[in-house]
Amino acid sequence: MNVTSTVVGYPYIGAKREWKRTLEKFWKNEITEEQFEAELKNLRINRLKHQKDLGLQFITVGDFTKYDRMLDLATMFNLIPKRYEALENPTANETYYAMARGAKDAVACEMTKWYNTNYHYIVPEYEGQSLTLNGNYILDQFLEAKNELGIIGKPTIIGPYTFVDLAKGYDEKTRAAFFLQLIPLYSQIIKELVTAGADWIQVEEPSLTKSLAEEEILIVEELYKQINEAVPEAKILVQTYFEALTSFERLSRLPVAGIGLDFVHGGKENIKALQNYGFPQNKTLSLGIINGRDIWSANLAEAISTINAVKQLSNAEEIWISSSCNLQHVPVSKKMEENLPQELYDHLAFADEKIREIAEITYYIEKGAWLKEGVVADSLKAIEALAIHPIRKNKVVDDALKLLTAKDFARSVPFSERQQIQKEALQLPDYPTTTIGSFPQSQLVKKTRAAWRKNEISDEQYAQFVKEETARWIQIQEDIGLDVLVHGEFERTDMVEYFGEHLTGFAFTDFAWVVSYGSRCVKPPIIYGDVEWTHEMTVKEVAEAQQLTNKYVKGMLTGPITILNWSFVRNDIPRQEVAYQIGLALRKEVAALEAAGIKIIQVDEPALREGLPLRKENWNEYLTWAVDAFKLATSSVATDTQIHTHMCYCEFNDFIDPIRALDADVISLETSRSHGELIHSLKANPYELGIGLGVYDIHSPRVPTIEEISHILNESLAVIPKEQFWVNPDCGLKTRQEPETVASLKNMVQAAHKLRQQPATI
């Protein structure tokens, strides 16, 4: 049996975010297009060399991007929306980044979550265009590796079924035309790769782990039948991840040379399928055994046991030992982390360490011995050291969880009664305007925070700076005319990190960056112990801001599920238990805000949907405890205290019941790039609680006109009663610049004022 080490994909960000800096220099015109391309090439070459040095045998190419891989394919297929024809003589890069980020006269393409991860992709828009192949960037990357380094890589491409599944703009009739146009393009790409010397082509089809109806299975079978007929000489590996392959008996027998399965997140189901159906003869099995979505070192003994079971069940003649998915979801290397507790550091494995684990396992499977003596004992020792650490043995937290009752998860009065009580108590105008929470983190804010963290300025100096910046933005909001204000969150680096720094059980890294969207990178906290509230976290800043204005200032908290889903979470107890620990901690902070006189408290849950299993039939268990964790944090408030929440990229039509179950008095939704779809959903599924639809896209630097916002508001009025209607941007404004933020908010407020002057339509 042949055994090979590989990964589905490797981070493109760079250990020190070199990729991010290159993009942003180009966007700011600090480097020419020629310099930009040269710097990207250098990054690609170095990351390939690095993977080879780590001991990886079969290196993936084509997993590098200039912004997003779905966008790469859309532009390569000439799937460019008509609105970008307004650009004046654009270069390919100008069109590409206009689709990603928007341009003066063309809004950006929609952006949404990549399955149940915190990565966001650009949604391809099909408008019935004639698709053509604008070059073959995957071939370019394959030849670059071959010619520059002598590496015969494994080209990877997002597969045709997944590409169409994640695109938009078609209906049942035009979808068939979409597929028919794509098949020859995929075939041509694969043919060119084979001709250039590619031994294998990896075709990523994560959508094959979702629930598929019979007609969808038939489509997948026909897709690969036609590609196989067009390029019979190609050795294609269909790579799935995030859950188990659905309809295993049929889809494992597609006319391809290999199948990649996730034995981490879909392990039990994939093994059960192997027991029931076996594995097709003469197919290669790529065995995703190392978790590509968490940062914990593997239990090597367990991994070997799983592999041996899979070997016996599959009888595959060739096995690849791989990551469960692309390693872009984890940081690059733990090598630079010097400030973590030793017992935590020893149990960490980022992308580079995971490749070393794959190399170790591959060597053992092939040779029957370990590359490094004592490696298994070391891995077990690291796991055990953290398991028995006091950070995981907090009796106060354990006792509090045991005392919870049903009353702790529900408001005392239903919304229909709370709404009238809050209306009388708050006395807000019709269509109240507000923002989601954060304001631009200027270079001065970042510089001052950095100086404080380096002890170059005192705590008192930093607190004074934050207080002055908050006061400045309270005045800006007053001048703009917003109705409900926020303090701006200038004391916070990140909406999750900030809370983790004030709670027990969290650790923070210095260089563990991952890409969230575009060049936006985050450093997720690590929840490695029991979570407990020990002191007020937000009260001082919000209360001081409230003293500066007669208008209401919202308390701003990040919700328990978002903290959970945007962190790397311990794997020794159920995620539900961690969520309840966080919910209890936030419940105490909510009480502290309320005691300080804050009457509107926003508990954001932009990541609620991220934790969903990919198959809808498995949603209920997660949603039950996720919604309960939010209600645990928020249900203790007085009837006249208004609870807000915020949610990102939510496909409202199939998620309205969980949103309603949160029982938040007001929810704001990030919808500016998919506003029409949400309006359609609300027509079919009316929503009874307070709601604010994002009226402009904060991910784009363009300033929306009053007319644009007014159009969105009037559309929204068709489905949202005036009594429930709030006006807000679609997300926080932290990443934007001050001039565009002020201009956009002024237009938003003026549009709301125009709406108040209109005769009632409902």
Cβ(523)–Cβ(507) below 8 Å: no
Angle at 612 between CA 610 and CA 617, to 5 degrees: 160
Residue 699 is a catalytic residue: yes
For 120-172, the pLDDT digits (tens) are 999 999 999 999 999 999 999 999 999 999 999 999 999 999 999 999 999 98
For 312-338, the pLDDT digits (tens) are 999 998 999 999 999 999 999 999 999
Binding residues for 5-methyltetrahydropteroyltri-L-glutamate: 17-20, 113, 118, 520-521, 566, 610
Q: Which residues pair with 438 in a beta bridge?
A: 488
Task: Report CA dihedral (91, 93, 94, 97) to the nearest 10 degrees.
Answer: 160
Confidence bin at 436 (pLDDT 50/70/90): very high
Whole-angstrom Cα distance, residue 489 to residue 438? 5
Radius of gyration of the chain (CA): 26
What CATH code would you report for 395-756? Answer: 3.20.20.210
Whole-angstrom Cα distance, residue 742 to residue 482? 11
Q: What is the DSSP string of 738-749?
A: HHHHHHHHHHHH
What's the per-residue H, E or C state across 423-445?
Answer: HHHHCCCCCCECCCCECCCCHHH
Q: Could you check whether 2-390 and 395-756 share the same CATH topology?
A: yes
Q: Is pLDDT at 654 greater than 90 in this prediction? A: no
Q: Which residues pair with 748 in a beta bridge?
A: none
- Where along the chain do its domains lie? 2-390, 395-756
pLDDT score, position 674: 61
> In this structure, what token pair is assigned to residue 524?
């997720």
Binding residues for L-homocysteine: 436-438, 489, 604
Whole-angstrom Cα distance, residue 490 to residue 498? 11
Give the residue among 273, 213, 220, 280 at the shortest CA–CA distance from 243: 273
Confidence bin at 649 (pLDDT 50/70/90): low
Within 10 angstroms of residue 139's Cβ, the number of other Cβ atoms is 21
Whole-angstrom Cα distance, residue 571 to residue 575? 8
Binding residues: 17-20, 113, 118, 436-438, 489, 520-521, 566, 604, 610, 646, 648, 670, 731
Angle at 278 between CA 276 and CA 282, to 5 degrees: 165
Give the residue among 365, 362, 241, 350 at the shortest CA–CA distance from 297: 350
| Catalytic position from the list 50, 347, 644, 699 | 699
Residue position matching structure tokens 């220099």: 25
Task: Report CA dihedral (282, 286, 289, 294) to the nearest 10 degrees.
Answer: -160
For 362-402, the pLDDT digits (tens) are 999 999 999 888 999 999 999 999 999 999 999 999 999 99
> In this structure, what token pair is assigned to residue 204?
């990523």
Determine the 3-state secondary structure of 196 from DSSP: coil
Give the residue among 146, 15, 88, 105 at the shortest CA–CA distance from 511: 15
| 360 phi and psi angles, rounded to 5 deg | -60, -50
Binding residues for Zn(2+): 646, 648, 670, 731
Binding residues for L-methionine: 436-438, 489, 604
Confidence bin at 685 (pLDDT 50/70/90): confident
Residue 503 is classified by DSSP as B
CATH top class, domain 2-390: alpha beta
For 177-196, the pLDDT digits (tens) are 999 999 999 999 999 999 99
Whole-angstrom Cα distance, residue 354 to residue 333? 9
